[in-house]
Structure 1
Amino acid sequence: MSADILQRISTLTLSVKQLSRFPHLSDLFPSFLPSPCPTVTASQVPALFREPYILSGYRPIQQDWRCYLLSLFQLHNESLNVWTHLLAAPVLLLLWWANVGALGYTLDVASVPLALFMVSSLTYLSLSVAAHLLQSHSERAHYFVFFLDYVGVAVYQYGCSLGHYFYSSEQAWRESIGMLFLPGAAFFGWLSCAGCCFAKAKYRRPYPVQRKIFQLIPTSLAYVLDISPIAHRLLTISWMQEASLPFHALQIGSFILAAFFFSCPMPERFFPGRCDFVGQGHQVFHLFLSLCTVFQLEALFLDYARRRDMVVDVFGERQLRWACVSFPALFMCCILTALIFMRHMNKELQHVGKNK
């Protein structure tokens, strides 16, 4: 074989190797940006950051903050938790725009509960994205972003109650619960935030059953109350009469599935290490919760379009304006609650640091 042919074969082999080389993560970012470190195993991060049956895909702690922001484009065990809620936000905005065009929307006192529901949905989605994206930086960051995540959950619960009460409730249901519904929804919303913050601050891994009790009982009570006007309609009105009822049924079904996967680490319990990146129960929980919100927005828009001319006459402007005030008031109460728990955790972490 001639030297020329050997040289060509050598050159071709080198070219194929260069073309087949998959770029490292660092190749995707400009040189002036820090590149997120490769993921590590559970044994290489503190116990606080470990999830049951998830054995790898963890981001190292104490990186530059920008590394965690840029890890949005890195494959790790929180990637789908981030993207399921990150993509849900533009889906909701597109659905809002489509319904505004198809069903109409006028920014007036009668439309305020629908707008607040949309704000609450975007709030919980945004805070959830921030929590799962940034929590690996440090123990303080972990507690702070998840306390804010619980604020988003409480705000979303109350946003749902406003939409259900003003657009989806029947007179017979209102006569049985009356003026107690919204104050009760606000209280249980705050209790959900406080209960989740307490459970997060109180218990350490391996988590005892009591932690789930403090998380699930307040959120379950809030959901039972918030969904009661919808359950009443589904049980008393033919689904063929109103177009919104199938969407309400879908939102309830999606929420029940979301609650199941939130409560049980499945399927990773049966396949430890095989669901580290895709297939975790929490990822499935995020997916069903996002679907629940999408179905909910569609149902509320249909109810709003059908009843918007009657809202002021039925409830009065005073009650609608009270909703405008109660929503930010609840938000501020939940923020204050989260900050109180964060102050407690700062003292505890400082004490632990001094004893090391």
Structure 2
Amino acid sequence: MSGVTLQRLSTLTLNLKQLNRLPRLLLDLSPPSMPSPSPTVAVSQVPSLFQEPFILSGYRPVGQDWRCYLLSLFQRHNESLNVWTHLLAGPVLLLRWWVYMGAAGHTLDVTSLPLCLYVLSSLTYLLCSVVAHLWQSHSELSHYSLFFLDYVGVAVYQYGCALGHYFYASEPAWRESGISALYLPGAAFLAWLSCYSCCYAKSRYQRPYPVSRKICQVIPTSMAYMLDISPVVHRLISVPWAREPVMPFHALQVAFFLSAAFFFSCPVPECFLPGRCDFVGQGHQIFHLLLSLCTLSQLEALLQDHTRRRDTVVEVFGEKQLWWACVSFPVLVLCCSLTALLMRRHIQRRLQERLKDK
């Protein structure tokens, strides 16, 4: 092997070592007054509330300064990929929407409102998820409160999807069916119900979680999804794919979501490999990745549908229905936020009572 080749290999090895030390270097560059995150600990060193099935290490200690959890963004722990998968998906989604609006010369008129609300709802759930997974280890109250916020983000995203599917992806035959008249009110109600059910299940059940907790979470969310996706499923079944190039993107969003739902419901593969998936490969990380891919596929499908149908949206639905549908969006956000706030107060009282009993 030549000296030049050996020198290149040596340089490559040095660069890889420096890359592996990047998180540590970033933490060392923080101001002296900024606290540093503590090393991760084993599952036995955190309260049961923070423990995840089959995840045996990589936990951040409870009770650190808030800034420590922010800096743990650059630390290797068992929530790292849960944070980064959604943190990276947000700018990609926003950039794709921004390029679409600029390149096509679209204006923000009433026909683009459902699309804008869909993008806003997607960014909301991604941001809420990042905040929840990054800061939930601070305390018990923070853990509950931030995951309640996460459920609000999911509910908002569900309704944003419903708006996009209803105005851009639905076919005339589906709109003439009985489900069309109840679609948006039903989607709003089921979005709120899924938020409430997830908050209730989180506050009601303690570890080790019974199967009823997962059922309480999955059933309302599944009902919301089946209703929200019904215009797309009808279109996938009834319209020849060769006629519309957007169909593969709609099929992809369905496939990615169903795969994500599986990994959300089942602790796979960590249940077969306890301790081996603590940092990379656990089911919830795969769920986050697949859900991000679902959202990006969904966005691409709605962008193409918007391009094709924006000139007929007002004619088909009427401007009044567009405005009412969009006004209902902040109403849903308010209802879900109040639900999460009430659940937080319930948890706060419960924790205060527990302290008094000690």
The residue number in structure 1 matching 2:229 is 227
- The residue that corresponds to 2:4 in the other structure is none
Give the superposition deviation at 1:233: 0.3
**How far apart, CA to CA, are the structure 2 residues paired with 1:22 and 1:127?**
29
Query: What is residue 237 of structure 1 aligned with on the other side?
Result: 239
8 Å CA contact 1:104–1:305 kept in 2: the answer is no
Length-normalised TM-score, structure 2: 0.92
Distance 1:206 1:22 in 2: 37
3-state SS of 2:129 partner: helix
1:8 matched residue in structure 2: none
Specify the alignment match of 2:184 in structure 1. 182
The 8 Å contact of residues 169 and 233 in structure 1, kept in 2 or not, is answered as yes
Give the Cα separation in 1 of the matches to 2:327 and 2:344: 26
Match of 1:213 in 2: 215
Aligned counterparts of 2:257 and 2:336: Cα–Cα separation in 1: 23
Aligned residues: 339
Structure 1 residue 316: Cα displacement: 0.4
Shift of 1:98: 2.8
- Structure with higher Rg: it is 1
Q: Which residue in the other structure is 1:98 paired with? A: 99
Aligned to 2:5: none
Equivalent-residue separation in structure 1 for 2:41 and 2:164 (angstroms): 44
8 A contact 1:53–1:272 mirrored in 2? yes
- Across the aligned residues of Structure 1 and Structure 2, the Cα RMSD in angstroms comes to 1.6
Alignment of 1:312-327 (within 5 A): 312-327=314-329
Give, as a single letter, the amino acid of the residue that structure 2 aligns with 1:136.
S
Summarize deviations over 1:49-77 as a string: whole Å, max 9, x none.
Answer: 00000000000011111101111111110
- The alpha-carbon deviation at position 260 of structure 1 amounts to 0.3
Contact 1:251 1:293 in 2 (8 A): yes
Letter in 1 for 2:244: E
Correspondence for 2:254 among 238, 242, 252: 252
Tell me, yes or no, if the aligned pair for 1:54 and 1:272 is still in contact at 8 Å: yes
Question: Are 1:85 and 1:129, in contact at CA under 8 Å, matched by a contact in 2?
Answer: yes
User: Counterpart in 2 of 1:201?
Assistant: 203
AA matched with 1:32:
S
Give unmatched runs, 5+ long, in structure 1.
1-15
Q: Equivalent pairs: percent with the same residue? A: 68
The TM-score normalised by the length of structure 1 is 0.93
Q: CA deviation at 1:101?
A: 4.0
* Residues 1:106 and 1:22: Cα distance change in structure 2 (over 3 Å): closer
Counterpart residue identity of residue 138, structure 1: S
Structure 1 residue runs of 4+, over 6 Å off?
Answer: none
Deviation at 1:22, TM superposition (A): 5.8
* Counterpart in the other structure of 1:145: 146
Alpha-carbon spacing, 1:189–1:129, altered in 2? closer, same or farther (3 Å)? same
Take 2:21 and 2:181, find their aligned partners in 1: how far apart are those partners? Answer: 62
Counterpart of 2:165 in structure 1 is: 164
Shift of 1:30: 2.4
